[in-house]
Amino acid sequence: MSDLAKSIALIAVSRAGVELAVQLATAWPHATLCLPPRWSEGLEQPHRRLEEPLKEALPALWQEFGGLVFFLASGAVVRLIAPLLTDKFVDPAVVVVDGAGQFAIPLLSGHLGGANQLAREVAMVLGGTPVITTASDSTGLLAVDLLGQQQGWQLDASPLELRQAAAAVVNGDAVALILEGDWQDALPPLPPWITLCRKAVDLSPYAAVLWVTQRPRHLLPTAGWSGPLVVYTPPRVDALILGVGCDRGTHQQTIQSAIHTALLEHGYRLDQVVALATIDRKGDEEGLLAVVKEYNWPLHLFTSEALNQVNPPNPSETVRRHMGVASVAEASALLASANGGLVISKQCYRGTDGRNVTVAAARIHHG
């Protein structure tokens, strides 16, 4: 059951509708069954008794619930809700179910309000069919107003821009999707008329532009562009700098395995890493150089004198005897991050090649 279903009113005014609504309420105990007095008497199912006619009770339900499932004729529902409509950004999801429970029809707020998904879930419980008429859903195309929603992306566009961009996607017009950052996993399959770009491009050939970025909208290079622009801002995350120490001759695979393990164990992702740091004596370490080359990370090298100016939380006398410093991994991560703060204290790993790797990580806060 979706999160929306926890704030759902199930509204029925006929015997057949009540039977279906009760079936749905049994599957969704957090939904609220709303019934007139005639069908409320003697019902053991938890419910809300509607003392007023539905037309008079509906405004309060409209404000209280995120979605309304009506077991009524669609024409009757349209007449009931018409005076309450504002726009899709604030109106609740509205789904209509026929008297036999065969069809669940999202009538209002299909995308942003979640009515399309709600209709699917209603149909699943009742054994019916969801009737989805939204163009992007029925054709399997990218939904402009839902892109990245599950990943917490913030959307910045006017209602007009959203409508124009959605129309461009549905009509097969040329659309640019500019992706700044490693966010491709959040994208659905793209039709051939949507061009995926990894950086700013000439916008003139496109009917609409979808831009995924951490930059504010006003700083995007869109001078001269007058078409619809939809900006998506993924949640900000800390960028990480890795500090790494290793035995002489450590294989690339061992270093990579140690890095992946450290990040995974502490809930961080590889795409958060922006650089790697170590002592300058490791500047010719082939395995380490191969790692930074593969991931296109800059390599920061520090002298023992510089590292000895840092007070790491976990100094090691063994490291001091061999390297002349009390810490390589923690100290180099802290230095490279300008003392941004350790998020991973040193973690020690031994590879199948018999070599040891130490990994630490410090954060660089976004401004």
Name the 3-class secondary structure at 249: coil
Q: How far is the C-alpha of 367 from the C-alpha of 365, rounded, in Å?
A: 6
- What is the rounded distance in angstroms from the CA atom of residue 33 to the CA atom of residue 324? 72
The label of the residue with tokens 């994208």 reads 187
List pLDDT tens digits, range 304-342.
Answer: 999 999 988 898 888 888 888 999 999 999 999 987 788
- The confidence score (pLDDT) of residue 223 equals 86
Quick: pLDDT tens for 137-163. Answer: 444 567 888 888 778 898 999 989 988
DSSP string for residues in 9-70: EEEE-SHHHHHHHHHHHHH-TTSEEEE-HHHHTT--S--EE--S-HHHHHHHHHHH-SEEEE
* pLDDT surpasses 80 at 135: no
Q: Write out the two tokens for 260.
A: 């992946």
* pLDDT tens-digit series, residues 157-210: 998 998 899 889 888 899 999 987 667 777 888 889 999 987 788 999 999 999
Mean per-residue pLDDT, 27-46: 87
pTM of structure: 0.45
Cα torsion 272, 238, 336, 198 to 10°: value is 40
**One-letter amino acid identity for 23?**
Q
As a residue count, the chain comes to 367
Distance CA 257, CA 264 (A): 10
What's the pLDDT at 367?
44
Q: Do residues 23 and 126 lie in contact, with contact meaning Cβ atoms separated by under 8 Å?
A: yes
- Measured between alpha carbons, how far is residue 2 from residues 46, 94, 199, 200, 243 in Å? 21, 15, 35, 36, 42
Work out the burial of residue 9: count CB atoms within 10 Å of its CB; fewer than 13 is exposed, 13-18 middle, 19 or more buried: buried
Q: Identify the structural domains of the chain with CATH numbers, from first to last.
A: 4-133 (3.40.50.11220), 149-233 (no CATH), 239-364 (3.30.420.180)
